[in-house]
Amino acid sequence: MSENANPGRVYLVGAGPGDPELLTLRAARLLMAARIVVHDGLVDPSILAMAHRDARLISVAKRRAYHSVPQDEICALLVREALAGRDVVRLKGGDPFVFGRGGEEAEACHAAGVPVEIVPGISAANAAGAAAAIPLTHRDHASIVSFVAGQCKGLSEQDWTGLAGVGRTLVIYMGVKTAPQIAEKLMADGLSPEMPVAVIENAARADMRVLRGSLAGLPGMVEDEKVRSPALIVIGEVTRDHADVPLVAMATGMA
């Protein structure tokens, strides 16, 4: 393939939590105009349906322990299409720079001389908190928020000391399969077994579920309720159930 003297641009676009109503205007406009859309598996079909009718949709879906397309091949795909003079929308669930590997893809494009634009999206943590009426910060309960990945290699060796506890909220991405290790790790670090937790499955979608319990009961709750990804675990006082707080449907996806 010969390289074009005027390479196309790669747009790393955050698709948000799944509801098309929660896309940014910039994301929606790019998607409707794009001729090439490289998308993750968690991007909702209703969002993909917004793409231009002539767009080529390329799925690079990832699942735990299985990648349909390895990350280095995804990067190579983006670079290849751009160097051929074509603009590419790289559509990612949530936000490209929050556990989305957007940094790796941007670096690969920059190294190849391909211009990149980052279009942020509503991250899973923000969407889950809002949809479940769980404030990640609260003057009475939490002034610090931490995001961690729950399925990284060497989970038991990672130092999470001080990330959860009084005045703090801990949001765990990709922690469904490792919930037992997560609970054990945090309690071993001194966190109370009675610390309240919430598990938010399919945040801001029509089939969203919000499960509440304690840190010690987290593994059993995930197993008994058959929680499936995408789901986030939120740990902290902000997750206590407040029955007097009404939960209003977010956007049209939950109407």
Q: Angle 153-159-165 (CA atoms, 0-180°, nearest 5)? A: 120
Q: Are 165 and 197 in contact (CB under 8 A)?
A: no
Tell me which H or E stretch contains 182: helix 179-188
- Read off the tokens for 241: 């159930």
For 2, half-sphere exposure in the C-beta direction (CA atoms, 13 angstrom radius) is 3
List of residues 6+ apart from 49 with CB closer than 8 A: none
Tokens of 45: 């079909």
Alpha-carbon torsion, ordered 125, 127, 133, 136, to 10 deg: 30
| Positions of E strands within the chain | 10-14, 36-39, 56-59, 62-63, 66-67, 88-92, 116-119, 142-149, 167-173, 196-201, 209-214, 231-235
**For residues 156-189, b (16+ Cβ closer than 10 Å) or e, as one string?**
eeeebeebbbeebbbbbbbbbebbeebbbbbeee
**What is the C-alpha separation between 148 and 146, in angstroms, rounded?**
7
Nearest alpha-carbon partner for 179 in 232, 131, 126, 239: 232
Task: Give the pair of three-digit tokens for residue 183.
Answer: 């609970």
Active-site choice (19, 40, 87, 95): 40
- Is residue 40 part of the annotated active site? The answer reads yes
Identify whether 19 is a catalytic site residue. Answer: no
Catalytic residue among 62, 177, 185, 189: 62
Active site residues: 40, 62
